[in-house]
Amino acid sequence: MDTEAAVLGLESSCDETAAAVLRADGTILAEAVLSQEKEHSPYGGVVPEIAARAHLEHLPRLVAQVMEKAGLEFSQLAGIAATSGPGLIGGLIVGSTLGKGIALAHGLPFVAVNHLEAHALTATLPGVVETPVRFPYLLLLLSGGHCQCVAVEGVGRYRRLGTTLDDAVGEAFDKAAKLLGLPWPGGPALERLAKAGNPARIPLPRPLLGRPGCDFSWSGLKTAVAHAVARCPGGAPSDQDKADIAAAFQAAVAAVLADRAKHALAMLPEATAMVVAGGVAANQAVRGALSAAAAKRGLPLVAPPIRLCTDNAVMVAWAGVERLRLGLTDELGHAPRPRWPLEGLAA
């Protein structure tokens, strides 16, 4: 694939509407992300129908915007890549259908991108991370919908080492934040509040810490937060109580993630790096704990820039580039999938 060739990427799997144009050498020609936070915040979480309608309204405009900024016509592209799963089915249908329409109209190859693979491959994107990593590496995928340790052995080659037994870690952040009366999305708000707290004042459990393997469990920690709130006088925590509970929760999460990562690295001794991706990767306490765990093994912690931790189209376009480079394309009849495990890509 010519390094000057460009791919249009579309992302619409949840509540970010995004488009990007990326050259095959990794140069970002244009990118745009539209957050739907205002639309969903009154409901305390993502409403699938609202998300799908917002994608339908805004994605065509974002596509026109990035194409104009990139200075390209559709016919000059090497291909179209659109997130086709996993995610909310309404949004997936909007993005993949638009991508297929552009591909059909201009005779371009279409790539149905697995959203998790897009996160996984961000660490190999030149110019985005200081030193792109080599396969194989350990991926910690930490978001509102996913919490996994994955051995990344190559494009389309993934081996899940561990996963959550109940909730995703991002979901745990949001629910703990809600218990503290914080606005949605809860993760960033809880991190800000934790800076004013004492993590040692209120003891919270560290689920599965030290246990064999690298699975996760967050439901017990969320319950412990609820009990900590209820134990405050009148069940109404003061501002300092809230900050201390937030700090204790964040410290517990960081400690558990570092412990699980250590176990995962022992299961993948050939790993060249530890990579963290997903919205929770933006949390600085989590990054610090994982960096220390990686350093103990003499490995770097590789994390995308904050703007590329959350859902975006740059990573989708890059996954498209990597797949097109290997001659991997999809039929226009490819159906979006709300569930699409990484391990299924090997087939």
Q: Is the pLDDT of residue 300 over 90?
A: yes
- 66, 17 Cβ separation under 8 angstroms: no
Residues 185-227: pLDDT tens digits? Answer: 899 999 999 999 999 999 999 999 999 999 999 999 999 999 9
Q: Which residues are annotated as a binding site for Fe cation?
A: 115, 119, 311
Angle ∠(303,180,200) on CA atoms, nearest 5: 70
Closest CA to 17 of 70, 72, 55, 65: 55
Region for 236 from its dihedrals, namely left if φ exceeds 0, alpha if ψ lies in -120 to 50, beta otherwise:
beta
pLDDT of residue 157: 96
Residues flagged as binding site for substrate: 141-145, 174, 187, 191, 283
Task: Report the distance separating Cα 184 and Cα 272, nearest Å.
Answer: 36
DSSP 180-203: TTPPSSHHHHHHHHHTTS-TTTS-
- Annotated binding-site residues read 115, 119, 141-145, 174, 187, 191, 283, 311
Q: Give the tens place of pLDDT for each residue, 53-88.
A: 999 999 999 999 999 999 999 999 999 999 999 999
pLDDT, greater one: 344 or 25: 25
Going along the chain from its start, the domains and CATH numbers come out as: 6-125+308-346 (3.30.420.40), 137-303 (3.30.420.40)
pLDDT greater than 70 at residue 347: no
Q: Please, are residues 281 and 309 in contact by the beta-carbon 8 Å criterion?
A: yes
Q: Is 85 exposed, middle or buried (0-12, 13-18, 19+ CB in 10 A)?
A: buried
List, for residues 217-235, the tens digit of each pLDDT value. Answer: 999 999 999 999 999 998 8
The beta strands (E) that lie in 274-333 are given as 274-277, 301-302
First to last CA, the chain: 23
Q: How many CA atoms lie within 13 A of 288 on its CB side?
A: 8
- Strand pairing report for 147-154 and 137-142: antiparallel
206: helix, strand or coil: coil
